[in-house]
């Protein structure tokens, strides 16, 4: 996991779409390793980076619109 965290640290905010899934895996691994504080920090990074990931292409998909309606508030923290 340290290797993945090191690699992820090299990416800037312009790569949020690519980085978010990997950070979520790190958060799960940290939670599984009984590291809740670090898991929460990684989860926060995923949510913060994901706030601006919607696109015109996904806005026309009813399922995406539904998820954003139901849970989008989590991305606007």
27-46 mean pLDDT: 91
For 51, what's the count of Cα atoms within 13 Å in the CB-facing half-sphere? 12
The Cα angle at residue 20 between residues 18 and 23, in degrees rounded to 5: 120
Residue in the block written with tokens 């706030």: 51
- Whole-prediction pTM value? 0.61
Residue in the block written with tokens 């691994």: 29
Residues 3-18: tens digit of each pLDDT: 777 777 777 666 777 7
């Amino acid at each position: 996991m340290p290797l993945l965290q090191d690699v992820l640290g090299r990416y800037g905010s312009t790569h949020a779409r690519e980085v978010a899934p990997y950070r979520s895996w790190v958060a799960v691994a940290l939670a599984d390793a009984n590291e809740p504080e670090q898991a929460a920090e990684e989860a926060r990074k995923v949510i913060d980076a994901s706030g601006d990931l919607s696109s015109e292409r996904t806005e026309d998909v009813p399922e995406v619109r539904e998820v954003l309606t139901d849970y989008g508030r989590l991305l606007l923290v």
